[in-house]
Amino acid sequence: MASTHLDAAFARAFGAPATGAVQVARAPGRVNLIGEHIDYCGLPVLPMALRQGVRIAFHPRSDRETRLVNRDPRFAPSAFAVNASIPPAPAGDWGNYARAAAQALAQRFRDLLVDSDLPIAAGLSSSSALVVAMALALMHANQVTVAPLELMEFLGRGERYVGTAGGGMDQAIILGARAGCASRIDFHPLRLTPTAVPPDWQFIVAWSLVHAEKSGAARQSYNERTRQCDEARRLVATRLGQREDINYPALLAAAPVEQLLEVAGATGSDVLARRFRHVVTEGIRVRQAEAAMAAHDLAAFGLLLDASHQSLRGDYEVSRPELDRLVELAREAGAAGARLTGAGFGGSIVALCRAERAPEVIAALRERFYAPRGAAGDVERYVFRAEPSAGAEVLTPGASSA
């Protein structure tokens, strides 16, 4: 959307500002290509930013009030005062993502109009895009600068305000993505390493039509996985004679994979052994996938996507029949590989194919998944080609942003 449209919508929501131009912060959504449910274990992941994202038009106020209006009428206006401690709105209120950023930055405040072309609860990080866009708007209006890596870590921790024990992948890629590239994110210490996505590769994102609401049961299941991974790590470390607080990267460096899996299998908990196996094997797949991308080896990357999905489905138990069906259909239509992306429990899949095959894959999903479910009308929003895009920014006033 052109920012002039946002200016007009802003004026309708708050009245035209008496002084200065309305400014716009933009933060993209992301699709994680591989490395799922391992960022909170401190293991590398390989996401890329999307063209779609969140835009916030903003203008300073002279008091400590922040007023938020969302162009999507499903989200009611929200307001809060910026103090040292900002109480959250009830669980599930979208305004909590803005509060998360404001609480993390604790500055003075403004009127903000939020606009998004990202599907919500689709595993594409619409929530973190909102947190990052909000943080950039607040920082820009208050002339605060924070070094990029520090801001990524800061907002990763800051988003836990909403109650999800998330890793740091989303905030890092949303802020640090490079156009045309996927980025390997390492967490100890935080570092982004871009790899160009080969021009004849096409990643396709398709939504399962199932909302993965982070505020409800999905959050509990997500947080349960983080606890299980931690428990599995402690059990394996103790049995190997390592320190109980050793982190995953160090544990993986301390013993061969076969030995780690054998020790995990002997702990007496089938669930913990399977969670552990997912984490360890997924970590290996990330390295292999990055190498396959650098070597333009589409078939190898596709097989790694398939293996990741099997592991997330069987060992990690975060898939759903709708996601499995989409993966199956994408494969049948000629994708080299496909898997659920994001936290799961609903949300989207990502599939990879040669660029020239993308129309066939998209058409097959439309006919065989969306049409039978009565959802063919809005299909462009549900299934689309993922364009590896640049990270978040504050746009120059008056600049048009397609």
Which residues are designated catalytic? 170
Residue 156 vs 302, nearer CB to ligand NG1: 156
What is the C-alpha to C-alpha distance for residues 393 and 139, in angstroms, rounded to an integer?
Answer: 11
Q: Is 53 in the site for ligand NG1 (CB under 6 A)?
A: no
Q: What residues between 67 and 86 interact with ligand NG1 by CB under 6 A?
A: none
Q: Is 36 in the site for ligand NG1 (CB under 6 A)?
A: yes
**Amino acid letter, residue 173:** I
Q: Measuring CA to CA, which residue among 29, 134, 117, 103 is closest to residue 391? A: 29
Residue 252 vs 343, nearer CB to ligand NG1: 343
Q: Is 166 in the site for ligand NG1 (CB under 6 A)?
A: yes
Strand partners, 353: 202
Q: What are phi and psi of 148, to 5 degrees?
A: -50, -50
251 close to 237: Cβ distance less than 8 angstroms: yes
Number of residues counted as binding ligand NG1 (CB under 6 A): 18
Does residue 58 come out as left (phi exceeding 0), alpha (psi in the -120 to 50 range) or beta?
A: beta
Q: What would the x/- binding string for ligand NG1 be over residues 223 to 262, using CB under 6 A?
A: ----------------------------------------
Residue 6 vs 134, nearer CB to ligand NG1: 134
Pick the binder of ligand NG1 from 70, 103, 116, 128 (CB under 6 A): 128
What are the start-end ranges of the H helices in 40-125? 95-105
Reported in sequence order, the residue ranges of 16-102 that DSSP labels E, i.e. its strands, are 23-34, 46-60, 65-70, 78-81
Pick the binder of ligand NG1 from 86, 279, 343, 361 (CB under 6 A): 343
Pick the binder of ligand NG1 from 3, 78, 103, 164 (CB under 6 A): 164
Q: Is 169 in the site for ligand NG1 (CB under 6 A)?
A: yes
263 close to 236: Cβ distance less than 8 angstroms: yes
Pick the binder of ligand NG1 from 26, 37, 277, 339 (CB under 6 A): 37
94-102, 121-129, 292-300, 379-387 -> range binding ligand NG1 (CB under 6 A)? 121-129
CA atoms lying within 13 Å on the CB side of residue 69: 15
**CB atoms closer than 10 angstroms to residue 66:** 26
Pick the binder of ligand NG1 from 342, 346, 388, 391 (CB under 6 A): 342
What is the C-alpha to C-alpha distance for residues 295 and 357, in angstroms, rounded to an integer?
Answer: 20
202-240 per-residue burial string, b: 16 or more CB within 10 A, e: under 16:
bbbbbbbbbbbebbeebbeebeebbebbebbbbbbbeee
Residue 119 vs 167, nearer CB to ligand NG1: 167
**Nearest approach, Cβ of 14 to ligand NG1 (angstroms)?**
29
CA distances from 114 to 18, 28, 126, 137, 146 (A): 20, 13, 12, 11, 23
Q: Measuring CA to CA, which residue among 42, 47, 14 is closest to residue 28? A: 47
Pick the binder of ligand NG1 from 123, 158, 176, 391 (CB under 6 A): 123
**Nearest approach, Cβ of 170 to ligand NG1 (angstroms)?**
5
19-27, 123-131, 281-289, 322-330 -> range binding ligand NG1 (CB under 6 A)? 123-131
**Nearest approach, Cβ of 228 to ligand NG1 (angstroms)?**
13
13-21, 119-127, 255-263, 292-300 -> range binding ligand NG1 (CB under 6 A)? 119-127
Residues at the contact surface with ligand NG1, assessed by CB under 6 A: 32, 36-37, 39-40, 123, 125, 127-128, 159, 164, 166-167, 169-170, 214, 342-343
